[in-house]
Amino acid sequence: MDKQRAKSAKSTYSQPSWFLRAIPASVTQRWDRWLKRRLPPQKHITLSHRSIFILPSGFGLFWIGLIVLLYLFGTNYQNNLVIGLSLLLASVLNTCIIYSYKNLAGLSFNAVKPPIAYAGDSTPFPIMLTANASNKHTDTTHQQICLQFSHQRHTRLKHMEQQTIATVPFEHPKRGYLNPGRIKVSSHFPLGLCRAWSYVDLDIQHVIFAKPEASDIILTSQVSDNDSQYEHGKLRPGVDDYKGLRAYVPGESLKQVAWKQWAQDKGMLSKEFAEPEGLPVWLNLANSSGKDIEQQLSRLAWQVDKLSQSQQIFGLKLGHTVINQQTGEAHRIACQTAIATYQVYGSINPDFTPSTAQVEAT
């Protein structure tokens, strides 16, 4: 299948209309409960007659009023031409209703794993849209599709291929687990007389990391400050843990050559191994400075990223939550997830009270 990222997609802000703001909260809650029963959250959703709603737009209401006015005028003055014109306009409206439904019917939605996101930033949620298309005609009938989360910016797809990835933005999320909720799928195609829409809940769950804030890196260990002969948490050449690949140096043992990469025409590369040197070190929330817990977590998140970039081996202690010493991208994600989902229940009194050795951040 042809895959194309929607280059024609445009994002604009959308504010609730005066009509939606005038609806009482009790009515909105009942509507939400009814939608949850009728359109439950699913990982894969295909729109059908059960999930598509159609009503006349503002222009459509004016069109209906014009039809009624022309029909009354024609019957009153017994003018068949005016009556025929009103019936023609009515047939156009009826045709628009059918095409409005066909524009959304058969459209399938799948959530794609979103990228790493930080609190306060715009978070893009990629959605895979699969359209109806025959083998003979690859073009689809889906046009002018708008996607948006509740009270968020919307993305417009002018024309869809058989498979299209649309990025639906979510503005200014807070740290922790985020469920953006239902995606509103709407369209005024073809003539703007009718508005067809639906609600798609793909049961998206995403972790929003704490927003990093630069600070001094404070590492702690269980040795005294006088034990300066240790290079805490550093790596030295060894044979225990696989570290990565590097360029092959002529004269090295052929046992270290990454033959799998060589067979893939990636050149001569050598496997590099390392082992930790000295005693393990920790990042501790209790030692992170800040005016409140959010700033402490933000600075701790920045320290995690900085240490991971320098391939430092470290552990993380958040109250009673402990992540053992490790390095690498998986360890960074685990630490950032723990920081993002950390909740404060009372004061911070960790049991772990090692001595500290402060390292100036570069």
pLDDT tens, the chain, 362 aa long: 444 444 444 444 445 555 666 777 777 888 888 888 888 888 899 998 888 999 999 999 999 999 999 999 999 888 899 999 999 999 999 999 999 999 998 899 998 889 888 988 888 999 999 887 655 555 567 888 999 998 888 888 887 778 888 889 998 888 888 888 899 999 998 899 999 999 999 988 899 999 998 887 777 765 444 444 334 444 444 444 555 666 766 766 666 677 677 677 777 777 665 554 545 678 888 777 778 888 889 989 998 988 888 888 888 888 888 888 888 888 899 999 999 988 743 333 333 333 333 333 32
Same domain, 127 and 176: yes
What is the span of the domain harbouring residue 299?
A: 217-359
Same domain for 150 and 270: no
Q: What is the pLDDT of residue 209?
A: 92
Q: Are residues 247 and 165 in the same domain?
A: no
CA distance 119 to 154: 20
What's the chain's length in residues?
A: 362
Q: Are residues 201 and 122 in the same domain?
A: yes
Q: Quick one: 51 and 188 in the same domain?
A: yes
Joined together, the tokens standing for residue 259 give 């033959």
Contact assessment for residue 194 and residue 63, using Cβ atoms and an 8 Å cutoff: no
d(CA 337, CA 161) in angstroms, rounded, equals: 36
Residue 300 CA neighbour count, 13 Å, CB half: 29
Last residue of a domain, one of 205, 236, 257: 205
Domains held by the chain: number: 2
Distance, CA of 256 to CA of 261 (rounded, Å): 12
38 and 155 inside one domain: yes
| Together in a domain, 235 and 143 | no
Same domain? For 80 and 153 the reply is yes
**DSSP category for residue 192:** S
- 77 and 149 co-located in one domain: yes
Residue 64: predicted pLDDT: 95
Domain boundary among 176, 205, 234: 205
104 with 185: CB under 8 angstroms? Answer: yes
* pTM metric for this prediction: 0.68
Which of 205, 228, 252 is at the close of a domain? 205
Q: What is the DSSP letter of 252?
A: S
